[in-house]
């Protein structure tokens, strides 16, 4: 099953909402530091409500630490960015994909994007809107990958 990777997330409620989505779908959630908050942040916990026991949470202090785990487990790194090369809806997901998302303020760093097997974008019709909320973007990418792979029943 695809996994979610948040690289340097900054806003606790977004991460809490993503954790809740991961709990509901049984999806592993990887947080790559540095984080813009403490894991014990009350806003993070509040957004995740009482679902934290159901979150398969992994914390990696740095991108290098995450890369070690990724190399051990394998799979493609798919970076979601407004400047992605492929529309996510037309992309063929695989069960061992890692879906990477950057911070709310800066997105994925160029150094991370350069390690990705592919970069994907979510189309936005209104040119004045730069991007979608991080938790919405994660849900869109996760559910499309799960739909393609037959995980939605």
11 is in an annotated binding site: no
Distance CA 148, CA 95 (A): 10
102 is in an annotated binding site: yes
Instruction: With CA atoms as reference, report the closest residue to 122 among 105, 103, 148, 143.
Output: 143
In this structure, are residues 10 and 37 in contact, taking their beta carbons and an 8 Å threshold?
A: yes
Distance CA 19, CA 140 (A): 14
Q: Give the Cβ contact number of residue 102 at 10 Å.
A: 23
131 is in an annotated binding site: yes
* Residues in the annotated binding site: 102, 122, 131
* Residues in the annotated binding site for S-adenosyl-L-methionine: 102, 122, 131
């Amino acid at each position: 099953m695809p996994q979610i990777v948040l690289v340097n997330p900054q806003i606790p409620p977004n991460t809490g909402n993503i954790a809740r989505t991961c709990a509901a779908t049984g999806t592993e959630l990887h947080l790559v530091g540095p984080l813009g908050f403490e894991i014990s942040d009350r806003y993070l916990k509040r957004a995740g409500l009482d679902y934290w026991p159901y979150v398969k949470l992994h914390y990696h202090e740095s991108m290098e630490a995450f890369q070690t785990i990724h190399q051990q487990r394998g799979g493609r790194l798919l970076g979601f960015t407004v400047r992605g090369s492929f529309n996510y809806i037309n992309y063929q997901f695989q069960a061992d994909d890692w879906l990477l998302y950057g911070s709310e303020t800066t997105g994925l760093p160029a150094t991370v994007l350069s390690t990705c097997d592919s970069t994907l974008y979510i189309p936005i019709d209104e040119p004045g809107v730069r991007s979608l909320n991080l938790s919405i973007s994660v849900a869109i990418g996760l559910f499309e990958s799960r739909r393609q792979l037959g995980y939605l029943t």
